[in-house]
């Protein structure tokens, strides 16, 4: 399921809006040279292609020789980036700041030191207000360079002020880097192993967290220090199944932005990520009423006029909104209703698949399969589970590969495709054994599935009850919770015991939870 490989220039042009294309044409035609006219023709040809094909370029622009194409494409790529930078500068404070630093450098080289310092000070204030600490430090170093030459005859305490600011921002950046590194490493650990599986996993993750978490006073931290601290705590508690603590830190994450409202406009992607993680923890806690309120907040982001919507934000809105719309159906048990959403989801997934990592796509396929399974369409469920099982790199989200195989077995059984059930059981058992991922719940399920073909019709209900009772023992075991998070095997067994669709069982449980 790797992203489709595309020519970088062709892919970049494919992301341009009509306004960006128009601005690029005006930008390139500013001097109206032959070379720029050739650029425009190449641009127009690439823009008109559905798939990249060099033969079409040589056919439609014969003056471009094969030996020239590589350099022309590189130059065109650069010109598009320059045009986009100019087009987006008013919506990106960090681009504005870097531009002002460049202007200050030009003034400095001209010997206009006071003008350079004045521009740097203005940029520094803007950088402090927008929490761009690394750029603040870059500006401070530039100011120190000018002052160290003793050419501006500044006030006497200027040197001490610059040194103090540099020390303070260095400390803040160092702490931010340590916390952001920790958050990223914990996320990587989650992608590799999912939730903890045993006490050994728990100790390993806990030791990693304690060894890498800086000793800090939360109240004294800057915006980004707090943000990365909350991110780290969300991932850590998520991995160790402490969803209550994960919820608390996800809520702190979102509240941090709400208490610094300007940062929602300046860092919308991080705000969206906070809402996404808050929704994920609420889903795991089955806190429906709060989940619905936060989902509404997420949907309102696209209507927030202070946020400049770009393709990156558009992709994230799709990713998070689609994920939690599906999760809402899981909470409600409304799988038949959820099936109606899948065609729209597939269209958007095809549209954005080149921008999503394989992990995200695997999750979507598993969730789509689960929706179909819950609605009673086992064949469609099997179709999407095969997309997960066909992914070769099983080290990516081993837990998804594990439970996709279990759900695949159950879907085959429910559909009456039990002639090859024994073969599939042995195959999956062998697969999980190699992954060292066979735990009590899986063993109970496999033990049951192995003997399904030998159980009489009259004895089935009793066997379903026995398996349910054995599994209920593990439902609150911290190291055996994963199967219940990925696959509601208890509800499936109850549907068999009561001889009703699993959707009916889940809807009944949902209604009971609201009382």
Q: Are residues 70 and 13 in the same domain?
A: yes
- Per-residue confidence (pLDDT) for residue 153, from 0 to 100: 57
pLDDT tens digits, 335-372? 999 999 999 999 999 888 888 888 888 999 999 999 99
In which domain, by residue range, is 122 found? 92-154
Nearest to 369 by CA among 377, 381, 387: 381
Q: Is 358 helix (H, G, I), strand (E, B) or coil?
A: helix
User: Residue 351 and residue 344: Cα distance in Å, rounded?
Assistant: 11
- Min mean pLDDT across 185-189, 257-261, 403-407 is at 403-407
User: Residue 301 and residue 272: Cα distance in Å, rounded?
Assistant: 8
Q: What is the mean predicted confidence (pLDDT) over 47-70?
A: 87
Q: Are residues 34 and 19 in the same domain?
A: yes
Query: CA dist 447 to 105, 425, 453, 475, Å?
Result: 72, 9, 12, 18
In the listed set 90, 106, 129, which residue is the last one of a domain according to the structure? 90
Nearest to 43 by CA among 68, 79, 17: 79
- Min mean pLDDT across 110-114, 116-120, 286-290, 294-298 is at 110-114
Q: Are residues 58 and 117 in the same domain?
A: no
Query: What predicted TM-score, i.e. pTM, was given to this entire model?
Result: 0.83
- Per-residue confidence (pLDDT) for residue 31, from 0 to 100: 61
Q: Are residues 33 and 82 in the same domain?
A: yes
Q: Are residues 84 and 96 in the same domain?
A: no
Q: Which residue has the tokens 């508690």?
A: 237
Q: Are residues 63 and 127 in the same domain?
A: no
pLDDT bracket for residue 4 (50, 70, 90): very low
Are residues 105 and 194 in contact, defined by beta-carbon separation less than 8 angstroms? no
- Per-residue confidence (pLDDT) for residue 32, from 0 to 100: 60
Q: Are residues 143 and 82 in the same domain?
A: no
Q: Are residues 49 and 101 in the same domain?
A: no
- 81 falls within a domain: yes
**How many structural domains is the chain composed of?**
2
pLDDT at 7 over 70: yes
pLDDT tens digits, 191-248? 777 788 888 889 999 999 999 999 999 999 999 999 999 999 999 999 999 999 999 9
User: Residue 371 and residue 411: Cα distance in Å, rounded?
Assistant: 12
Chain mean pLDDT for the chain: 87
Q: What is the mean predicted confidence (pLDDT) over 157-171?
A: 87
Q: Where are the alpha helices (DSSP H) in 243-357?
A: 243-259, 262-266, 268-285, 288-300, 311-332, 335-339, 342-352
Going by the DSSP 8-state scheme, the letter that residue 324 receives in this structure is H
pLDDT bracket for residue 147 (50, 70, 90): confident
In the listed set 38, 72, 90, which residue is the last one of a domain according to the structure? 90
In the listed set 154, 176, 200, which residue is the last one of a domain according to the structure? 154
User: Residue 302 and residue 313: Cα distance in Å, rounded?
Assistant: 9
Residue 444's H or E segment, with its range, is: helix 440-450
User: Residue 90 and residue 112: Cα distance in Å, rounded?
Assistant: 26
Sign (positive or negative) of CA dihedral 313, 318, 323, 327 = positive
Nearest to 425 by CA among 464, 275, 433: 433
Q: What is the mean predicted confidence (pLDDT) over 318-331?
A: 95
- Per-residue confidence (pLDDT) for residue 2, from 0 to 100: 37
Percentage of the chain beyond pLDDT 90 is 50
- 454 falls within a domain: no
User: Residue 325 and residue 323: Cα distance in Å, rounded?
Assistant: 6
- 45 falls within a domain: yes
Are residues 253 and 278 in contact, defined by beta-carbon separation less than 8 angstroms? yes
pLDDT bracket for residue 189 (50, 70, 90): confident
Q: What separation, in Å, do the N-terminal and C-terminal C-alpha atoms of the chain show?
A: 43
- 288 falls within a domain: no
- 71 falls within a domain: yes
- 28 falls within a domain: yes
- Per-residue confidence (pLDDT) for residue 281, from 0 to 100: 95
- 73 falls within a domain: yes
Q: Are residues 85 and 97 in the same domain?
A: no
- Per-residue confidence (pLDDT) for residue 446, from 0 to 100: 74
Percentage of the chain beyond pLDDT 70 is 93
Q: Are residues 21 and 86 in the same domain?
A: yes
pLDDT bracket for residue 435 (50, 70, 90): low
- 35 falls within a domain: yes
Sign (positive or negative) of CA dihedral 407, 411, 414, 419 = negative
Residue 198's H or E segment, with its range, is: none
- Per-residue confidence (pLDDT) for residue 287, from 0 to 100: 94
Q: Is 377 helix (H, G, I), strand (E, B) or coil?
A: coil
Cα angle 165, 167, 171 (rounded to 5 degrees) comes to: 115
Tell me which long-range contacts 85-89 makes (C-beta under 8 A, separation of at least 24).
Answer: 86/23, 86/27, 87/19, 87/20, 87/23, 88/310
Q: Are residues 109 and 97 in the same domain?
A: yes
Each residue of 470-494: b (16+ CB within 10 Å) or e? Answer: ebeebeeeebbbbbbebbbbbbbbb
């Amino acid at each position: 399921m790797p992203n489709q490989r595309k020519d970088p220039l062709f892919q970049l042009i494919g992301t341009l809006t009509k306004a960006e294309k128009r601005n690029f044409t005006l930008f390139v035609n500013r001097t109206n040279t032959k070379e720029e006219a050739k650029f425009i023709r190449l641009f127009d040809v690439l823009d008109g292609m559905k798939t990249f094909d060099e033969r079409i370029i040589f056919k439609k622009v014969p003056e471009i020789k094969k030996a020239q194409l590589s350099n022309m494409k590189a130059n065109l790529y650069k010109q598009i980036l320059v045009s986009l930078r100019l087009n987006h500068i008013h919506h990106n404070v960090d681009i504005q700041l870097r531009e002002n630093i460049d202007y200050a450098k030009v003034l400095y080289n001209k010997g206009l030191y006071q003008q350079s310092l004045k521009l740097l000070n203005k940029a520094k204030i803007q950088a402090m207000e927008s929490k761009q600490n690394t750029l603040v430090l870059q500006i401070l170093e530039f100011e120190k360079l000018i002052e160290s030459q003793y050419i501006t005859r500044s006030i006497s305490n200027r040197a001490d002020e610059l040194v103090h600011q540099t020390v303070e921002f260095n400390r803040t950046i160092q702490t931010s880097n340590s916390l952001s590194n920790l958050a990223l490493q914990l996320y990587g650990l989650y992608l590799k192993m999912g939730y903890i599986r045993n006490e050994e996993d728990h100790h390993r993750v806990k030791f990693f967290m304690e060894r890498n978490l800086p000793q800090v006073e939360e109240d004294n931290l800057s915006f980004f220090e707090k943000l990365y601290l909350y991110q780290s705590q969300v991932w850590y508690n998520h991995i160790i199944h402490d969803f209550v603590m994960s919820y608390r830190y996800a809520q702190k994450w979102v509240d941090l932005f709400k208490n610094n409202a300007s940062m929602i406009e300046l860092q919308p992607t991080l705000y969206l990520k906070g809402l996404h993680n808050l929704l994920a923890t609420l889903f795991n806690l089955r806190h429906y009423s709060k989940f619905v309120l936060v989902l509404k907040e997420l949907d309102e982001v696209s209507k927030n006029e202070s946020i400049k919507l770009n393709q990156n934000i558009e992709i994230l809105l799709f990713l998070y909104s689609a994920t939690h719309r599906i999760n809402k159906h899981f909470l409600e048990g409304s799988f038949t209703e959820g099936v109606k959403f899948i065609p729209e989801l597939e269209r958007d997934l095809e549209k954005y698949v080149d921008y999503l990592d394989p992990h995200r796509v695997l999750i979507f396929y598993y969730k789509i399969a689960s929706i179909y399974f819950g609605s009673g369409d086992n064949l469609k469920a099997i179709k999407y589970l095969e997309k997960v099982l066909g992914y070769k790199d099983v080290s990516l989200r081993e837990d998804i590969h594990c439970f996709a195989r279990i759900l695949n077995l159950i879907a085959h059984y429910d559909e009456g495709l039990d002639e090859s059930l024994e073969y599939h059981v042995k195959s999956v058992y062998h697969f999980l054994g190699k992954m060292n991922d066979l735990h009590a719940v899986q063993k109970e399920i496999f033990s049951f599935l192995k003997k399904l073909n030998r159980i009489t019709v009259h004895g089935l209900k009793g066997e379903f009850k026995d398996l349910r009772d054995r599994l209920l023992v593990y439902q609150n075991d911290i190291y055996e919770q994963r199967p219940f998070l990925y696959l509601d095997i208890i509800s499936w067994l109850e549907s068999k015991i009561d001889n009703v669709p699993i959707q009916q069982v889940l809807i009944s449980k949902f209604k009971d939870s609201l009382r």
